Amino acid sequence: MIIKNVLGTHLVSGHLINYITKAFDDDHAHSLYKDSFVRKILEKIILPDDFDKDLVEYYIKRSVRNGSWRMLRPESRALLLVVRFWRGLLKSVVLKNVLRKIFIEIELLTLRGKALFYGILLLLKKSINIIYDYMKDPEKILIIGLSYLNNPPLYRVYG
């Protein structure tokens, strides 16, 4: 059975499961890999494929509202302000990737972003096959993440 993974390539399901479980065996050595993998899944859930001026303005307003604007790097803030005045769709692949990373940074500083992040981590801990079912309905991931964040810190496993 062929499964399309988050990175866009096709892998046989057994190989994909072995690949992910091997990557998640050692918690300390692969924590950066886990973080980048979860961010990729989060990008697929939250961000649209096409970027335009309205989306950039939305994230600028959102970051100012929730106070994450001052936590962004100065280069990121400058890039958002410049792209805000761009007309039409963004066609550059490199610019889209940079903006995706900035948008994910803004999302992770909100409660919704944190809840989705921890919900994906908890689902990955259970099984990789579950995450593909839950990606169709991100509200369930949000509920899992919110219930995790509402636990007392003593009961949190991923801290």
Task: Report yes or no on 72 lying in a domain.
Answer: yes
DSSP string computed for 72-83 = S-HHHHHHHHHH
Task: Report yes or no on 157 lying in a domain.
Answer: no
Question: Which one, of 94, 95, 97, 73, lies nearest residue 86 by Cα?
Answer: 95
Report yes or no on whether pTM surpasses 0.75.
no
Would you state the pLDDT for residue 116? 93
- 107-144 residue pLDDT tens: 999 999 999 999 998 888 887 778 778 888 889 999 99
Beta bridge partners of 4: 10
What are the pLDDT tens digits along the chain (159 aa)?
333 444 443 333 445 445 444 545 544 445 556 778 888 888 888 888 888 888 899 999 999 999 999 999 999 999 999 998 887 777 888 988 999 999 999 999 999 999 999 999 888 888 777 877 888 888 999 999 999 899 887 777 654
Other CB atoms within 10 A of residue 139 CB: 10
* Cα gap 41→16, rounded to integer Å: 15
Task: Report yes or no on 94 lying in a domain.
Answer: yes
Number of domains in the chain: 1
Task: Report yes or no on 59 lying in a domain.
Answer: yes
Note down the domain range covering 105: 53-110
Task: Report yes or no on 116 lying in a domain.
Answer: no
Query: Quick check: 7 and 40 in contact, CB under 8 A?
Result: yes
Question: Which one, of 68, 151, 58, lies nearest residue 106 by Cα?
Answer: 68
